[in-house]
Amino acid sequence: MSPRRIVRSICFECHSRCGALIDVDNDRIVNVKGDKDHPFSKGFVCPKCRATKEIIYHPERLTNPAKRVGEKGKGKWVEISWDEAIGEIASKLLKIRDTNGAEAIVFGQGTTRGLPPYINRFLSLFGSPNFMGTQNLSGYPIMAGSIYTCGFSFMANADYGNSRCMLLWGQNPHSAWPGLFLNDIYDGLRKRAKLIVVDPRKTRIASRADIWLRIRPGTDDALALGMLNIVIENGLYDKDFVENWTVGFDKLKDHVKAFTPSKTAEITWLDPETIEKATVLYARSKPACIGAGMAGVCQNTNSFQLNRAITILSAITGNLEVKGGNLSYLSPLRHRACYGPDFDACKNLPSEQSGKRLGAREFPGVRFTLSPAESVWKAVLEEDPYPVKALLLFANNSMISFANSNAVREALSKIDFLVCVDYFRTPTTEMADMVLPAAHWTERDDIEDLMMKNHVFCQPKAVNPPANCWDEKKILIELARKMKLEGYWSSVEESLDYRLEPAGVTFEEFRKLGKISIPIAYRQYEKEGRFQTSSGKVELYSERLADLGLSPLPIYVEPPESPLNTPEVAKEYPLVLTTGGRSIAYLHSAHRNVPSLRKRFPDPSVEICPDTMKKEGLKKDDWVWVITPRGKMKSRVRPFEGLHPGVIHVYHGFWYSFDDGWKTVNDNILTDQMAHDPAVSSTQLRGLLCRIEKCNPTA
């Protein structure tokens, strides 16, 4: 590699996919800056990306494979060679397959990390249908909600920049999507588009809104049905579209009648006039788009039906697949590049094996992509429907990420063989039998795409990783070689070329191109003469769902633990709790060990409205316990003006630098893994009950 050079790449610290210019001197990164020529981040990069040097040259970075000697969670770590690590994993997996069947082995990945092509293919050659992910908590309910309704993939793709009205539903672009959506949203605002925000918190974007709907956490489904009712009752729908392109309109009309503005207001803690005003504004603006929060509308036990209702709202107002509305960016290239040739680990498995996917029987909506973590824990703990013996986790901090950390710990304590691949030690790696060090995104070649914009990007390696940190793709390739899995790739280059095949370029050619843009197909259904659903229409009423035992019409389900559903619990836990809002400083549980980022957001935090603080005798920066029926989490008080006095919010993902942090400052000690969405298995993380108590920070 030449001494000083600028490498044009794509930041991978979160999912915005911002353009990054990496300044490299003699195989060391000296600086990272924004790329002004990038189509949507346009020169922006956030503090996480600017902290790249602190991350990759961090003294605590894992730099060698290691094996635990001694008890789980307490053992000593002994460094081993890659040869030994790969050899031992291969023999363990083969032995388990012989004894318990391939399905007893689960591979997992945290939030979108680019590995589905590799894990899917590995599992389909190895024979296991079980790929565990976090998607049931973000994205997947949206995807499934639109697939079952109109067959296209993503309600999250709002065309803000060309819209007359932007409805942000549980989405916080300043913290969660600054590079991906903010420029477009501001473009829309500059062109005088109207803005509606549905969020219990008055976020930065909510404070810019024409109408802010301060919803009670967990009741978005009722709001969506109420809005559908107003649209239908007032004839604000697109009559041609409804007549020609939908099925079940009359049934929907009758069904949503019960959700009058006053009933909807009662459930959601909004007022009826504001609901009507917002609905009329959205429905009369042409075109209008809905930007659904990837987590904001995905972490309830009724997320699937909520996302069906939102998709239906977009459809009957004539905003599907139109400029300024909600778009579909599917293409054969990104299908292959993102998911790989097999799309799904089950694709090439015999039906008797694919039918064993954990979760598929209970959650029909998960049938075609992943095994939810909760089904995996159940299999480990109760051997139901069969035992799971090994778990290989790539970029996933299960102990902090999934609901009810105590239950997760119990499962990880019981599992026979746990391997974690990470940059750093975490509460999850501490439960592992083996830990493998990964190369950072600046140290590996890759193809980047999130399917939320119409570009597929090249992410070239800028510097070499530390000698013993491996690209995860290489880990899987070497493991496949050792296990003699015929048909797996033999090199990273070969795999990248394969993923690019539909574009007719090799990765070496792609390096020079930097990106491939995909033409946007407006009203594809007109060209094809059908939507990709069973009926060819947008299914307001779905026979297919009825056949699966799910409600054929979108429904409202009160959160399992709430002032309305469990008033007796609410007596002891009177506040409504929502978890998980993002800070720009961190991605989930990562980055707390990065000094510049920790300075921006030093402590686990709970947001409380000033009136409630006064009532509870609390001051800014006081430490409190947030307590739910499942556990208590220590947090610092942040006054937050724009919150309902009956609602509090805890940020997600702390553990680092606190003794026993997974137990004391981690929000998932508060959450419950037992209640699920019956279609997609999302758990209730937004909308629980809690109380707060002052605490001694050193206690």
The binder of 309, among ligand SF4, Mo ion, ligand MGD, none, by C-beta within 5 to 8 A per type, is none
If one asks whether residue 18 binds ligand SF4 (CB under 6 A), the answer comes out as yes
Report the residue number, 110 or 465, with the smaller CB distance to ligand MGD. 110
Cα–Cα distance list, 571 to 379, 574, 614, 689 (Å): 35, 6, 20, 10
Among 111, 124, 285, 579, binds Mo ion (CB under 5 A): 111
If one asks whether residue 294 binds ligand MGD (CB under 6 A), the answer comes out as yes
From the list 498, 567, 478, 456, the residue with the least C-alpha distance to 340 is 498
Sign of the torsion formed by the C-alpha atoms of 306, 311, 314 and 317: negative
**Side-chain half-sphere of 34: how many Cα atoms within 13 Å?**
16
Report the residue number, 9 or 112, with the smaller CB distance to Mo ion. 112
**Which position has the token pair 């140290």?**
443
Question: Among residue numbers 265 through 284, which ones bind Mo ion (CB under 5 A)?
Answer: none
Q: 464: which DSSP letter?
A: P
Among 77, 131, 329, 424, binds ligand MGD (CB under 6 A): 424
From the list 11, 20, 70, the residue with the least C-alpha distance to 43 is 20
Report the residue number, 333 or 685, with the smaller CB distance to Mo ion. 685
State the greatest distance between any 2 C-alpha atoms of the chain, in Å, as a whole number: 70
**Concatenated DSSP letters of 540-603:** SS-HHHHHTTS-SS------SSSTTT-HHHHHHS-EEEEEEE--TT-STT--TT-HHHHHHS-S
**Cα–Cα distance, 543 to 490 (Å, whole number):** 45
Cα–Cα distance list, 161 to 43, 203, 272 (Å): 18, 20, 30
Minimum distance from residue 487 beta carbon to ligand MGD (Å): 24
Among 20, 270, 587, 690, binds ligand MGD (CB under 6 A): 587
Stretch near ligand SF4 under the rule CB under 6 A, chosen from 21-29, 40-48, 206-214, 237-245 = 40-48
Q: Which two three-digit tokens encode residue 141?
A: 């309910």
If one asks whether residue 199 binds ligand MGD (CB under 6 A), the answer comes out as yes
Contacts with ligand SF4: how many residues (CB under 6 A)? Answer: 12
Enumerate long-range contacts of 540-547, CB under 8 Å, 24 or more apart: 540/149, 540/246, 540/247, 540/248, 540/249, 540/251, 540/252, 540/312, 540/315, 540/316, 541/247, 541/248, 541/251, 541/252, 542/148, 542/149, 542/248, 542/308, 544/148, 545/148, 545/679
Report the residue number, 152 or 441, with the smaller CB distance to ligand SF4. 441
The binder of 199, among ligand MGD, ligand SF4, Mo ion, none, by C-beta within 5 to 8 A per type, is ligand MGD
Among 21, 22, 29, 46, binds ligand SF4 (CB under 6 A): 46
If one asks whether residue 171 binds ligand MGD (CB under 6 A), the answer comes out as yes
Stretch near ligand SF4 under the rule CB under 6 A, chosen from 16-24, 480-488, 493-501, 570-578 = 16-24
Minimum distance from residue 22 beta carbon to ligand MGD (Å): 16
Report the residue number, 106 or 176, with the smaller CB distance to ligand MGD. 176
Angle at 272 between CA 268 and CA 273, to 5 degrees: 140
- Quick note: the x/- pattern for ligand MGD over 470-499, rule CB under 6 A, is --x---------------------------
Is residue 412 within 8 Å of 399, Cβ to Cβ? yes
472, amino acid identity: E
The binder of 11, among ligand MGD, Mo ion, ligand SF4, none, by C-beta within 5 to 8 A per type, is ligand SF4
Which stretches of the chain bind ligand MGD, using CB under 6 A? 14-15, 110-111, 113, 134, 137-138, 169-172, 175-176, 198-201, 203, 215, 217-218, 220, 293-296, 299, 394-397, 400-401, 421-424, 426, 438, 441, 472, 578-582, 584, 586-590, 652-653, 667-668, 671, 685-687
Which stretches of the chain bind Mo ion, using CB under 5 A? 111, 138
